[in-house]
DNA sequence: GCTTATAATGGGAGCGTTCCCAATTCTTTC
DNA sequence: GAAAGAATTGGGAACGCTCCCATTATAAGC
């Protein structure tokens, strides 16, 4: 029974070299003769050898694993395709750079243990924190433990943190300006949760737009949702008595809910109430009517976030980075722009 | 600078015991005096000690990490809430049992490397394979390498494999029988991809139902989709000339597409064409009209799958397990059952 | 051709745990 | 109160790799 685990030593033996040389080949050390490298490689290939991850991690102090932490405070996000897209981006970057992804959904009850594990068990070389609340405990923890990390979404307070984000504020402002330009007079908004930076920034953008046009923001036209369809629905109902003629909704999922409420109230979209969403989720193009929305590159954010984290890991004392990804206002039917243009052309 | 990493030895020193005893406490070995255990525990707590994962993994040969492998052949699944729910279930089980989750989205190009890594780098103690194609290479690999694994969804060929699934066939049959009982004469189906066991089984269930009622299946009323909204849409268009009066769609996401096609064709649901979906995704209850569908417990499947895998890991030579989770036909408006009942009551 | 620099290689010493066996300390029993 | 057994504890030897330094082979320079 020679079914011992395959180790670097066996490879060394078969290739006629030492442990060290095999290790060098594995780690792409340039100080190996080309012929030797080739020989070692082919032995590894032949035996289907894969170096033991735990041993490498222990010896080198690096695991080549990135942690993805998703605080589950806002479970709503998990019921739409936001996270799948983000995860795909991260995973693609990991595959490309020979990293793996560890996933932690931080449910509140387990959070303390989880956090400890993340920061001090040495399981991961760094972590990506997605859509954290503004006062997230995980951020605090990785910060004090000096674990490399990047946020998906900027941080409202700390300025020395690396993050990947879109310009929520400016893109929201532009979306609202689009509505104003189309002639709507009472533009309302359903914001995201205001304990998340994205929610906060998009609301600020909404206000910026009004101010830019000299319009005084009416607090009755502003309501807070939680990114879920249900909240879009109920919040829209609550807003209806204020008779808005247009509404900027901080996520497509909520926009769907809002449209459902409008439909039930007998309002036509965009004729009675125009609507603009945010995200450009796959379903936005297929809703009835198709939703005008702000497209943000979620997959790309995950990809870039992971790559940025890898850079942070390899450079010690790397300076914090801020990556802002571009957005795009996708004009479909729900904002009324098309209808109006057609009318104008007919006239 | 005594900023050396905190190890078991420091804990031992401060608690006045040996390495071994600390290790015993960490691993809940009963052979430790209660008082000693207490003392060690409090020192660990005070210093916020977390044993090094790589070292444990190396020494014990166990990582307490489960791998979740999602072959990305069917990317469609990733754009609806199926995976988020599944992942949440798995993650919840892991949290509860002190495991972590490693995530691999197996993109075809990287698959070989990824597979090797999964099976022979010792990163994980076992793997969960979700929605694999029927001839998946990953399954082959974990099988020959004797890595414990469970499938989400049964395997069409191997019978000695542990899996968690719902009874796709029977539940699909019941859904179709429901339509037949309501009096529909030309019941069509949009199946899932036929290289996935779920797609296969649900189609078989459809045929079972027809046969049970002595109806000869009309191949023109059967069309294959790929679980995506777009495929639901185009497949429905293709089916329309056959003039079905009801349709069983193998996923809610496809059902959404089918409804869009029907709407565009001027068909009323359920009056002109009744429709039944599968999954009971969150959006099914809110579609227009609300979708009658087969509810399957996705979150629970993930949870149970993870727990089952943990059992497999701890018992050597465990016998394969087959877990079948219950489904439920959720009757809403799209199948016409309510409308009919109301009509009947009025009469 | 001999010295010196340089490219390749080898081997010892960890990395932080667990596991096993031996040693010690309590208990129990007669 | 001594012997035997059980409960508790300690320490050496892995686990499979990387890292550093020493050594050997090769190339370059005069």
Rounded Cα distance, B189 and A295, in Å: 34
CA distance readout (Å), A229 to A225, A232, A257, B330: 9, 5, 5, 20
Question: Is A7 in CB contact (< 8 Å) with chain B?
Answer: no
Looking at residue A109, what is its pLDDT?
66
State the average pLDDT for chain B. Answer: 92
Question: Is A3 in CB contact (< 8 Å) with chain B?
Answer: no
Which nucleotide is closest, CA of A17 to its C1'?
A: C9
Which nucleotide is closest, CA of A49 to its C1'?
A: D16
CA distance readout (Å), B96 to A91, A111, A289, B53, B100: 25, 12, 44, 18, 10
Judged on CB neighbours under 10 Å (0-12, 13-18, 19+), A13 is middle
Looking at residue A110, what is its pLDDT?
64
Question: Is B18 in CB contact (< 8 Å) with chain A?
Answer: no
Looking at residue A71, what is its pLDDT?
81
**Would you say the C-beta of B60 is within 7 Å of strand C?**
yes
**Would you say the C-beta of B265 is within 7 Å of strand C?**
no
Which nucleotide is closest, CA of A20 to its C1'?
A: C10
Of A77 and B96, the one with more pLDDT: B96
Q: Which two tokens stand for residue B41?
A: 């525990």
Question: Is B288 in CB contact (< 8 Å) with chain A?
Answer: yes
User: What confidence tens digit (pLDDT) does each residue in A226-260 have?
Assistant: 999 999 999 999 999 999 999 999 999 999 999 99
Partner residue facing B122 (CB), from A52, A121, A229: A52
Per DSSP, the residues of A94-134 read: HHHHT-EEEEEEE-GGGHHHHHHHHHHS---SEEEEES-BT
Rounded Cα distance, A269 and B40, in Å: 66
d(CA B89, nearest CA chain A) in Å: 10
**Would you say the C-beta of A55 is within 7 Å of strand D?**
yes
Strand D positions within 7 A of protein Cβ atoms: 7-12, 14-20
Q: Nearest chain B residue to A66 by CA: give it.
A: B102
Rounded Cα distance, B64 and B95, in Å: 11
Looking at residue A142, what is its pLDDT?
92
pLDDT at A77 over 80: no
Which nucleotide is closest, CA of B40 to its C1'?
A: D9
d(CA B121, nearest CA chain A) in Å: 5
User: What confidence tens digit (pLDDT) does each residue in B67-118 have?
Assistant: 999 887 666 667 778 888 999 999 999 999 999 999 998 877 667 777 888 8
d(CA A326, nearest CA chain B) in Å: 22
User: What confidence tens digit (pLDDT) does each residue in A24-47 have?
Assistant: 999 999 999 999 999 999 999 999
Distance A162 CA to D18 C1' (A): 30
Q: Tell me the percentage of chain B whose pLDDT exceeds 90.
A: 80
Looking at residue A1, what is its pLDDT?
38
In which order are the strands placed within the sheet that holds A126-130?
A322-325, A163-166, A149-152, A126-130, A65-71, A100-106, B100-106, B65-71, B126-130, B149-152, B163-166, B322-325
Distance B20 CA to D4 C1' (A): 27
State the average pLDDT for chain A. Answer: 92
pLDDT at B332 over 70: yes
A-facing residues of B in 71-130 (CB < 8 A) are 78-81, 83-85, 87-88, 91-92, 95, 100-105, 107, 110, 114, 116-117, 119-123
Q: Which two tokens stand for residue B76?
A: 């469609």
Residue with tokens 């709407």, as numbered in its chain: B263
Of A3 and A101, the one with more pLDDT: A101
pLDDT at A273 over 90: yes
Asked if A53 lies within 8 A of B123 by C-beta distance, the reply is: yes
Asked if A58 lies within 8 A of B54 by C-beta distance, the reply is: yes
d(CA A52, nearest CA chain B) in Å: 5
Looking at residue B1, what is its pLDDT?
38
Residue among A240, A241, A176 at smallest CA distance from A210:
A176
User: What confidence tens digit (pLDDT) does each residue in B188-201 have?
Assistant: 999 999 999 999 99
Can you list the domains of chain A with their CATH numbers?
8-51 (1.10.260.40), 65-166+298-325 (3.40.50.2300), 168-296+330-346 (3.40.50.2300)
Q: Which two tokens stand for residue B114?
A: 């990824």
Looking at residue A294, what is its pLDDT?
98
pLDDT at A317 over 60: yes
Average pLDDT of the segment spanning B146-159: 93
Distance A58 CA to C20 C1' (A): 22
**Would you say the C-beta of A17 is within 7 Å of strand C?**
yes
Residue among A166, A136, A140, A144 at smallest CA distance from A153:
A166
Per-residue CB contacts under 7 A with strand C, chain A residues 20-59:
20-21, 24, 30-34, 36-37, 55, 58-59
Rounded Cα distance, A88 and A63, in Å: 21
User: What confidence tens digit (pLDDT) does each residue in B286-296 have?
Assistant: 999 999 999 99
Of B323 and A70, the one with more pLDDT: B323
User: What confidence tens digit (pLDDT) does each residue in B153-209 have?
Assistant: 999 889 899 999 999 999 999 999 999 999 999 999 999 999 999 999 999 999 999
Average pLDDT of the segment spanning B214-237: 96
Residue numbers in B near A57 (CB within 8 A): 53-54, 57-58
Of B68 and A344, the one with more pLDDT: B68
A-facing residues of B in 229-248 (CB < 8 A) are 229
Average pLDDT of the segment spanning A185-208: 96
């Amino acid at each position: 029974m020679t079914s011992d685990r395959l180790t670097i030593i066996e490879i060394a033996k078969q290739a006629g070299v030492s442990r060290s040389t095999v290790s060098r080949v594995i780690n792409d050390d340039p100080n190996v003769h080309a012929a030797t490298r080739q020989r070692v490689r082919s032995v590894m290939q032949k035996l289907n050898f894969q170096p033991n991850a735990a041993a490498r991690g222990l010896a080198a102090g690096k695991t080549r694993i990135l942690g993805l932490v998703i605080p589950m405070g806002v479970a709503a996000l998990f019921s739409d395709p936001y996270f799948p897209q983000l995860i795909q981006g991260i995973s693609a970057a990991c595959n490309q750079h020979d990293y793996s992804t560890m996933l932690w959904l931080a449910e509140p009850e387990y959070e303390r243990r989880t956090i400890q594990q993340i920061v001090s068990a040495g399981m991961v070389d760094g972590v990506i924190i997605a859509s954290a609340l503004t006062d997230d405990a995980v951020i605090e923890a990785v910060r004090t433990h000096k674990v490399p990390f990047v946020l998906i979404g900027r941080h409202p307070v700390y300025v020395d943190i690396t993050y990947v984000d879109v310009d929520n504020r400016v893109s929201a402002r532009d979306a609202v300006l689009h509505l104003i330009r189309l002639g709507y007079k009472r533009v309302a908004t359903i914001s995201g949760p205001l304990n998340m930076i994205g929610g906060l920034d998009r609301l600020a953008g909404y206000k910026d737009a009004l101010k830019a046009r000299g319009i005084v923001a009416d607090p009755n036209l502003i309501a807070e949702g939680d990114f879920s369809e249900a909240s879009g629905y109920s919040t829209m109902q609550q807003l209806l008595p204020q008779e808005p003629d247009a509404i900027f909704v901080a996520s497509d999922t909520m926009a769907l809910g809002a449209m459902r409420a409008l439909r039930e109230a007998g309002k036509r979209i965009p004729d009675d109430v125009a609507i603009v969403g945010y995200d450009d989720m796959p379903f936005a193009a297929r809703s009835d009517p198709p939703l005008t929305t702000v497209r943000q590159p979620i997959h790309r954010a995950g990809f870039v976030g992971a790559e940025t984290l890898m850079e942070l890991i390899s450079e010690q004392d790397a300076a914090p980075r801020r990556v802002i990804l571009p957005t795009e206002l996708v004009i479909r039917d729900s904002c009324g722009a098309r209808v109006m243009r057609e009318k104008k052309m007919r006239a």
